[in-house]
Amino acid sequence: MGVTNFDQVTTDGAVIVTAGGLTVTAGGLTVTAGGLTITAGTLTSSGAITGTSLDTAAAGALSLGTATATSVDIGVTATATTIKGTLNTDEAVTMDSTCDVAGALTADGIDRVDAGALSIGIATATSIDIGVTATMATFKGTVNVDEAVTLDSTCDVAGALTADGLDRVDAGALAIGAATATSLDIGKTGQMTTNKGTLNVDEAVTLDSTCDVAGALTADGLDRIDAGALAIGAATATSLDIGKTGQATTNKGTFNVDEAATFDTTVGVTGATTLTGGVVADTPLKVYNVQPEGAIAGRGTDGVSVAGTTYYSQLFLAANKTITGIGVLTGTTTGTDKVLVGLYDAAGNLLANSALAGATTSTADKYQEVAFTGTYAAVGPAVYLIAFQLNGITDGMQRIATDGVEVACGKETGSFGTMIDPITSVATTFTTAEGPIGYLY
C-alpha cells in the first residue's frame, strides 16, 4: 500500500505501516494502545510527535530529523530530559544554561556560548577532576588559581611559575627544580626577593651584586665571584661584628687594618706580628740606647774619631714617635770639630740626617742635641741605628764600652758631609768603643 493521508486518525489498536512511510500533516495521529510500527520508510510530521517511547523497528541507529529538519527539539521546557545511555555528539554542543554532569564528562572541547569566564563545578561540585591518570593535562593559556594549590606529585613548569604561595602537601622539604632543571630563577629583576626563614645553601653561593643582610649571616665560606677584594659592610654598615663571643676567630692570611685598631681585651699572637703602621702609644721625650745611669763622664769610652767615618749603634723604639733629632754624648774634649748625625733603619738605609755642614761640638761630657733638617715620623716597635760623623780628630765622642747593654754597633769609613746610604754591611754584634751613646728626641 502506498502513502495514505488522513486529517485525523484515532485508534486503540496497533497501527502498522509496512512500506512507504507515514505522513501526518494536520490533526495529528493518536494511538492509545498497541503502538505505531513503521517497518519501512520514515515517519514525517509537521507538528510535534508525542509518545511514551520511540525506537527503531529493527536493531540500528535511531535517526531523528536527519532529512529536512533544520533543528531538533527534544523534551519540554522546565522538564528534565534524561539520556539513559552515553551521549555522543559529532559536532559542537551549545548549552543555553548550566550543565550538571553526574559522572565523567568527555569532550574534544568545552566552551561558553558567548565571551566570558567558563565556570565548571561552581554550584554543587565538591571537587573537580580534570584529565586521566598517567595522561598529561595541558593548559594552553596561563593558569590562575584564587586559592591554595595542592600537588600530589611533582610539578614540572616549562616557563615561569607565578603563585602567591608554594608549599608541600605534607610536612617535609619543598623541592624546586630538583629533577631536570639546570638552573633555578626565583624573583624578578629590580624587585626584592624575601626569604622569611633561615637560608641554608648546601653548595657555593654566587652573588652577581652586593649582599645586604639585616641580621646575622652564617656561612661555611664567603668569597667574591672574581679575583679582587671582598668588601663586607662597605656601604651602609656603621659597624661590623665578625665571630661569636667566647669563640676564636681565625684569620688564615695576613691581617691588614687601614685605620686604628682597638682591642677590648688582650691580644695573643702565636707567630710573628708585623706592624707596618707601628703602635700608637705614649713615648718618653727621649728614647735612649744606653740608659742614663751613673756619672755621665764615666758612662762610656772617650774615643778619638777618624774624620769622615760614620759610627753607629742600635736603638729600640717601642712605639711611633715624631723624631726631631739625635742627642749624642760628647767626650772630654769639645769645641773644635763639627759633628753631624743620621738616623738609619735596621737594614742600614738612611732615613733622616742633620745639616751636612755640621755643628760645632759643645760642652764636654754632655748630651749634645743635633736636629735633623726636618722631623721624621718613626714607626715602632722597631730597631733603628743612630750615627754620627766628625770632621776632625781633636774632639771626642763617648762610645759604648761594654756589651752589657746588648746593642750591635759598628763603623764605616767615608767623607765628612757625605751621608753613607746605605751602610754597606750592618754590624750584628757588639764592638767595644765604636757605637755612640745617645737618644732620639
Query: Grid coordinates representing 232?
Result: 663586607
Q: What would you report as the CA-atom Rg of the chain, rounded to the nearest whole angstrom?
A: 55
pLDDT at 1 over 60: no
The domain 287-440 having CATH identifier 1.10.3470: the answer here is no
pLDDT at 335 over 90: yes
pLDDT in tens, 52-71: 777 777 788 888 888 888 88
How many Cβ atoms sit within 10 Å of the Cβ of residue 433? 17
Name which residue leads in pLDDT, 251 or 430.
430
Using CA atoms of 200, 205, 210, 216 in order, give the dihedral in degrees to the nearest 10: 30
Query: Grid coordinates representing 263?
Result: 682591642
C-alpha torsion sign, points 76, 79, 84, 89: positive
pLDDT at 235 over 80: yes
Output the pLDDT for position 19.
Answer: 63
In this prediction, residues 241-267 reach a mean pLDDT of 83
- 378 Cβ neighbours under 8 A, 6+ residues apart: 278, 317, 320, 321, 322, 323, 343, 351, 384, 440
Beta bridge partners of 151: none
In this prediction, residues 198-212 reach a mean pLDDT of 79
Lookup result for grid cell 643582610: 213
Instruction: Collapse the DSSP code of 11 into the 3-class scheme (helix H, G, I; strand E, B; otherwise coil) and give the result.
Output: strand
In this prediction, residues 232-261 reach a mean pLDDT of 84
Percent of the chain with pLDDT over 90: 30
pLDDT in tens, 82-103: 888 878 888 877 777 777 777 7
pLDDT in tens, 9-26: 666 666 676 666 677 666
pLDDT at 279 over 70: yes
pLDDT in tens, 286-330: 999 998 876 787 788 887 799 999 999 999 999 999 999 999 999
Percent of the chain with pLDDT over 70: 89
- 332 Cβ neighbours under 8 A, 6+ residues apart: 297, 302, 364, 365, 396
pTM over 0.85: no
Mean pLDDT score across all residues of the chain: 84
pLDDT band at 139 (very low <50, low <70, confident <90, very high): confident
Q: What gap in Å lies between CA 422 and CA 434, rounded to an integer?
A: 18
In this prediction, residues 226-251 reach a mean pLDDT of 86
Name which residue leads in pLDDT, 367 or 43.
367
How many Cβ atoms sit within 10 Å of the Cβ of residue 95? 10
Name which residue leads in pLDDT, 132 or 161.
132
In the chain, where the domains are located = 1-69, 287-440
pLDDT in tens, 338-372: 999 999 999 999 999 999 999 999 999 999 999 99
